[in-house]
Amino acid sequence: MGCGTVSTHGSRLDELTTWDADWAGLRVVVTGIGLSGFSAADTLIELGARVVVVDGRDSEGNRAKADTLDIVGARQVLLGGSAAETLPLVDGEPAELIVTSPGWSPEQPLLAAAAAAGIPIWGDVELAWRVREKAGRKTAEWLAITGTNGKTTTVGLTASMLQAAGLRAIAAGNVGTPILDAVRDPEGYDVIAVELSSFQLHWSHSLSPLASVCLNVAQDHVDWHGSYGNYLADKAKVYANTRVACVYNAEQRETESMVEEADVVEGCRAIGFTTGMPAISMVGVVEDLLVDRAFIEQRKDSAAELAAISDLGEVAPRHLVANALAAAALVRAYGVEPAAVREGIRSFDPGAHRIQKVAERHGVLWINDSKATNPHAASASLAAFPSVVWIAGGLSKGVDYAELVSLHAARLKAAVIIGVDSAGLLAALERHAPDVPVIAVPPRETGSGQPGGSGEALAGGDRIMARAVEAAAQIASDGDTVLMAPAAASMDQFRSYADRGDAFIEAVRGLGEGPAQTG
């Protein structure tokens, strides 16, 4: 019901498939005034729709955005908790459409009321797909990317490869540039690498990308989706209506099953990626080379060299290789040549907080992977190093740590646990790694790191991280890696995973053991 496919409003909305369609006067409620919500409201106002915006937070930043939307023509902007509880009217009449920010759950009262009333609900990505075509503007092809982990890295690699091929391309969606901002670019793009979260996919239903990939799946956001099955179903929507290539993880059966069950455009191919030897119609690894056995005529008995693993940099764990292969498959589906794949990999900057080498002192490697916000991502990080002092913990989001700990117990020299929601992780360590020393850094007793928490409370995260780093330094010795891969969200003690990563970097630099060999 969340996609709004059953509705008396459908007949008009069915016609709204280009920028130049008749959007004038359409009554729309936009929920959320963050990056995607603001972009959606601004777009709809420009299209001539009558727009009411709702957000549950009445903050200074939101009031400033509300003032801007008032100036450009919003009918109303309603802020505060009570505003998000009921479905508002638009100019005294019921809304014809809801456009929601991706983080809003289907169970949220306003959205639940809209669904019960048969009012269609779109996300910003659905809106972007419908307005991507405009007279006089280049219409970009979409390469759609989702997965529990690795989305942002893969989207960045994809855009870098496209740009290396001389194409006007951008990474957008769940990372960086809001998708509607990319679509509205006056010049337009040749290709957009679109990162799609499970939330965004939930609220999308008419996308038809040139190529698509689900990189991997593992338990995540179960609290939002209601069950792991629902989460998988939303992830699988990335493949719907794909036209040229559905790219899947050959090492994870779930993603292959998604492709097998997807309703795609006739002629669309299934292309696997693997960090092992590729079979026909796959990309993979031969010795230390990334190779293509999917997009060459002689694929039955040969492969085309795309890049070397060393092109990925000094630290190239298995999951980074997998991400590069997935990106290569997407751009090869578009027609990018192998030389541009290699150049795109070499010029790609992965950014901070993703398997980031912070320092190397006395034979101890210090790695920041604060972006590892769930067990699946942390597992990929742990697998890259043989002897680990592991700094972990935070908001668990309802996941189970048993498999993660049992899989990597043998490589753990010690675990240093932070966070206010660490009971599940501690229990898993006690049960599945009983011989691994565990140091629990006490959480602060007051304050909240949740959005809206006090600055003083958030500052406590720096002190907690400093204690965790000091504890790890006491244990680590030559040949060890101190890995901060929390397997949990950050907002209990930090503003974001980036804030958490920055705190780790500063704490390592503050050890006072001489200059670091930074990478």
Q: Residues annotated in the binding site for ATP, as ranges?
A: 147-153
At 150, the amino acid letter reads G
Q: Say if residues 39 and 178 touch (Cβ distance below 8 Å).
A: yes
Q: How far apart are CA 167 and CA 148, in angstroms?
A: 28
Encoded tokens for 412: 């753990």
Q: Say if residues 220 and 244 touch (Cβ distance below 8 Å).
A: no
Q: What ranges in 400-496 are assigned the alpha helix state H?
A: 402-408, 423-432, 455-475
Q: How many angstroms from the chain centroid is the CA of residue 432?
A: 30
Which phi and psi angles does 184 have, rounded to 5°? -85, 0
Q: What ranges in 165-313 are assigned the alpha helix state H?
A: 179-183, 198-202, 222-225, 228-236, 253-261
Q: How far apart are CA 80 and CA 56, in angstroms?
A: 4
* C-alpha dist (Å) from residue 326 to 12, 145, 283, 486: 38, 9, 8, 25
Q: How far apart are CA 199 and CA 254, in angstroms?
A: 19
The neighbour count for residue 138, using CB atoms within 10 Å, is 13
Q: Say if residues 194 and 170 touch (Cβ distance below 8 Å).
A: no
- Enumerate the known binding-site residues: 147-153
Q: How far apart are CA 3 and CA 205, in angstroms?
A: 7
